[in-house]
Amino acid sequence: MRKEFSASIEKLALEDDSIVFITGDLGYNALENLQSTLGPRFVNAGVAEQNMVGVAAGFAHKGYKVFCYSIAPFIVYRCLEQFRNDVCFNNLPVFLVGNGGGYGYGIMGSSHHTIEDLACLSGLQNAQVWTPAFSDEIDSVVTQIVNEKRPAYLRLGAGKTTPKEAVTMGSFKLIHQSPTADTTVFALGPIANNVLAALDAYPELMPKTNIISALRFPLQLTAELKELLQKTPNIVVAEEHIGTGGLAQQLSVQLLEAGIPIQSFKSIKAEGYPNSRYGSQGYHQKLSGLDASSIAQSILAIPTLT
């Protein structure tokens, strides 16, 4: 998604000279076009993420709209206090962009993984969190972030393109629907691609399963989505994020408050490092049951509707 993000920023920056882009000394072989297009509005703040966000808050206070870019663990954890105090409390247009969310940086280990970012950021005052599942969602998401001019975090990963039949419903996107479904799978970000792959590999799941991606936090259940969920009492949540503060916990509150009857609720989540080893993103997804085959088995194991 990094390529699509860079192209979107370049397009917007040509139209809006109030856009500033700050990188924490990362983005080589990906952001050179932005450096050329933005000129002095492109700033390399060095390996100093806390200072980068403080500088961004200063720019935003003067009327600029500022993107702060790094790999996800650095932009989330290193400058959490500055984003909370300088940006969110003042409702300033500073937008954190983290590349490689979840286990995206694989073998580089836990210091480079980002499996608690929703828990850290989605509860902050005035903040919006964006978790696109597909690469072609980036342009519209970035445009909306700029237009809303409020604190935001954009989690980038690696995704394919949105299925043609996808429909946006509030903060969610319905990406597969079956009129005979009794199960709805909610997916966080690019894990939606794994869920789609599970249905491709197990065609018997197609008629019994709806797939919905969570695009934006705080979550918003529309009337149309509530009506859909009334017909599918089995819920599965798949997310490359720990259980605490993640999609499953936040969604369950929404479902309870809406009075939607649930027969079964299954949370498939990032399990951390159960064997104390590091590997590729796919390796960690497999350990957590987030690969396509494991997701399919979780859906197949759901008891028949009573």
Domain boundaries, the chain: 2-156, 167-300
Q: Model pTM?
A: 0.95
Could you tell me the fold of the domain covering 2-156?
Rossmann fold (3.40.50)
Average pLDDT, rounded, for the chain: 95
Q: Identify which has the larger pLDDT, 225 or 306.
A: 225
Q: How confident is the model at residue 158 (pLDDT cuts 50, 70, 90)?
A: confident
Distance between CA atoms of 183 and 304, rounded to whole angstroms? 10
Q: Given 3.30.470.20, 3.40.50.920, 3.30.450.20, 2.60.40.10, which CATH number is that of 167-300?
A: 3.40.50.920
Q: How do residues 246-304 score in pLDDT, each as one tens digit?
A: 999 999 999 999 999 999 999 999 999 999 999 999 999 999 999 999 999 999 999 86
Predicted pLDDT at 305: 57
Element (H, E) at 268: strand 264-268
Q: Are 217 and 250 in contact, with CB atoms under 8 Å apart? A: yes
The answer, yes or no, to whether residue 20 has pLDDT greater than 60, is: yes
Helices and strands (DSSP H and E) totals, the chain: 12, 13
